[in-house]
Structure 1
Amino acid sequence: MKLDLAIPTLETERLILRAPAEADLDADAAFFASDAAQYVGGPLRRDEVWRIIAMHFGHWALRGYGYWSVDEKDTGTYVGRIGLWFPEGWPEPEVGWTLMNNATGKGYATEAALAARAHAYDILGWDTAISLIDPENHASKAVAKRLGAKLDYHYEHPKFGATEIWRHPAPADLVNGGMEAYA
């Protein structure tokens, strides 16, 4: 039996944010087997990555929001997972991003995270958002800065250890409250 979750599809200029799918497993497994996964809990075995995909569905079912799988509009190529995250034990609601190795440096994380944050603020009514970032993940910090986030505090994550909490601008601090603030 397949559960039919109401996961909205979002579109940006170059990307489609869609429901996670088991078809993402090959690309995700390759990413999580690489050194690039060190900042997001990897490296992981393929069976562990499958469980992450299932966990993302569960987050949507329990919270009504979560991570989207992200595809390039022009090619349909899966480029990563970006979205909203607030599992039990997380310090605050988060906007997060993970790009496949072949998708970095193209502005995709910023573009999709803006869409996710706009959804959080405009549709879900969030009044704040953070991004939890490993202190050594300089690429992620650069994305956070492009999103207007600023280092707010240091957090000792029970599993991942020392992390940084980057605070996003509040909805009232954004032009028209949404994506166009940084477009």
Structure 2
Amino acid sequence: MMPALAHTPVLDTPRLVLRAPQADDLSAFVAYATSARTRFVGGPKTVAQAVEKFAGMIGQWVLHGYGRFTLTRRDTGAPIGHVGPLMLAEAEMPEFTWSLWGADAEGQGFAQEAAQAVAVWAFGPLGLTQASTIIHAENTASHRIAARLGGVQRPDWPAHFGADFTTYHFTKEAAL
């Protein structure tokens, strides 16, 4: 039997490789998910919650044929984050997500580079025509990424996580 993620695409950028999540990424993800870094995305989590969330990331690929990639540095191979579309409810459009797992990866444009690669893939070979993202008001770095990807703020859309969050809408035409 072929492993469930064997057909997951690999996306290459000049400095990054975006690949399927794998067991070796778990400890880095748990360190991230149990830290204050996750304050804008419902964390910090317990270790058990972090493991379950990681398993859910893998499950997205199995359920939908797409999901979040582990973001790795090309020069070291180290996992430094995750990026990709997420689908929690069939009635909603996919949500673009991006997170860097440690402060040492910040300020170098990795999240932007990875998010752009995912947008090209998602609106190209994957065939999406639109997506959204939901960003906490204080997460200024993510707001910049959403704007650079052509995201349009949609204050008229329901605030799923409360008034402190902004929803962005992405279309194929604006992102490519």
Query: TM-score if structure 1 supplies the norm length?
Result: 0.85
- Where 1:51 maps in the other structure, the secondary structure is helix
2:74 counterpart residue number: 73
Question: Which residue, out of 137, 144, 153, partners 1:151?
Answer: 153
The alignment yields a C-alpha RMSD, in angstroms, of 1.9
| Greater Cα offset, 105-114 or 145-154 | 145-154
For 2:4 and 2:37, locate their aligned partners in 1 and report how far apart those are by CA, in whole Å: 32
1:59 counterpart residue number: 60
Query: Is the contact between residue 95 and residue 131 of structure 1 (CA under 8 Å) also seen in structure 2?
Result: yes
Query: Is the contact between residue 32 and residue 43 of structure 1 (CA under 8 Å) also seen in structure 2?
Result: yes
Query: Is the contact between residue 151 and residue 169 of structure 2 (CA under 8 Å) also seen in structure 1?
Result: yes
Equivalent positions of 1:161-176 (< 5 A) are 161-162=162-163, 163-168=165-170, 170-173=171-174
1:44 counterpart residue number: 45
2:115 counterpart residue number: 113
For 1:8 and 1:33, locate their aligned partners in 2 and report how far apart those are by CA, in whole Å: 28
| Greater Cα offset, 16-25 or 139-148 | 139-148
Tell me by how many angstroms 1:155 deviates.
2.9
For 2:38 and 2:83, locate their aligned partners in 1 and report how far apart those are by CA, in whole Å: 15
For 2:2 and 2:36, locate their aligned partners in 1 and report how far apart those are by CA, in whole Å: 34
For 1:120 and 1:45, locate their aligned partners in 2 and report how far apart those are by CA, in whole Å: 31
For 2:111 and 2:58, locate their aligned partners in 1 and report how far apart those are by CA, in whole Å: 21
For 1:89 and 1:64, locate their aligned partners in 2 and report how far apart those are by CA, in whole Å: 13
1:102-128 Cα deviation digits (max 9, x unpaired): 211111111111111111111121111
Letter of the structure 2 residue corresponding to residue 147 of structure 1: L
Q: Structure 1 stretches (4+) deviating beyond 3 angstroms?
A: none
For 2:26 and 2:48, locate their aligned partners in 1 and report how far apart those are by CA, in whole Å: 9
Query: Is the contact between residue 86 and residue 94 of structure 1 (CA under 8 Å) also seen in structure 2?
Result: yes
Q: Unpaired segments of 5 or more residues in structure 2? A: none
- Where 2:130 maps in the other structure, the secondary structure is coil
- Where 2:81 maps in the other structure, the secondary structure is strand
Query: Is the contact between residue 67 and residue 86 of structure 2 (CA under 8 Å) also seen in structure 1?
Result: yes
Query: Is the contact between residue 11 and residue 17 of structure 1 (CA under 8 Å) also seen in structure 2?
Result: yes
Distance 1:13 1:87, change over 3 A: same
Query: Is the contact between residue 150 and residue 174 of structure 2 (CA under 8 Å) also seen in structure 1?
Result: no
Query: Is the contact between residue 98 and residue 109 of structure 1 (CA under 8 Å) also seen in structure 2?
Result: yes
Sequence identity, in percent? 35
Query: TM-score if structure 2 supplies the norm length?
Result: 0.88
- Where 2:43 maps in the other structure, the secondary structure is coil
Distance 1:136 1:90, change over 3 A: farther
The alignment of Structure 1 onto Structure 2 pairs a total of residues equal to 172
Q: Unpaired segments of 5 or more residues in structure 1? A: 178-183
